[in-house]
Structure 1
Amino acid sequence: MFENQIKNALMNKPFLIEEGLKFKGITMFLKDDICDLKFEDRYGNDLYVLFKKEIEDSQIGRLFRYYSHVSKPNARFMLVGFSFIEGVKEALLDWEFEYKQLNVEEVQAVIENLQNRGTSTKQLIVG
């Protein structure tokens, strides 16, 4: 699986992250940083997502940068990946950030389904 395929799966099927999410944007610029994905949760709050296959300590710093660039009080910030190095999940919770550990098989099934339907990145970004 390539990272862009996984992001496409998350954009098309946001329930992989959380029920009730609506996709809002991809590769969004937040001042001098880039946010991978942006969603709106069921309560209307923005959710900024950084996706990496393996989450490491350095990605927590990126979430802090996202946080410093967003002035919305109810905005949420989340790391999403397949695996997390030891201690990262606990650190995220200590700083009131969120995480989602994806199921590889579930994401792969969504990717295969999208490929069978012929869904392309261009179709995903429009709208």
Structure 2
Amino acid sequence: MQRAWKRLKANKGAAGVDGLSIAQTGQHLKYACRPSGNKMVGTYRPQPVRRVGIPKPDGSERELGIPTVIGRLHVNDAGVIRLVRAYLNAGIMKGGVVVERAEGTPQGCPLSPLLTNVLLDEVDRA
């Protein structure tokens, strides 16, 4: 978890829908985590990602989802499948309203690299 936190701080980045910066999240985690070091095991519930439109040269927009800082940390827990399902069901905030997502994950979502690796692992096995 400490390595994940160091990488997260080095990457910097914007706040998610909770509005907490990396520094503010660090302060929050000091109080929210169990002293045993099992960071929020079984209690974490992902929040929707903040939608940002990135302009494309053709005038359209590329959708980017900005998760909360906590949502960007790597979780080492037996309930990973539950966590993935929770991320997929968390929705996306658009114009201050949480909207369900019918398919896929927005670019920038913590699941994007995870699901890509899962897919590539299956391709590698074929």
TM over 0.5: no
| TM-score, with length taken from structure 2 | 0.32
Q: Please identify which structure carries the higher strand content.
A: 1
| TM-score, with length taken from structure 1 | 0.32
Q: Which has the larger radius of gyration?
A: 2
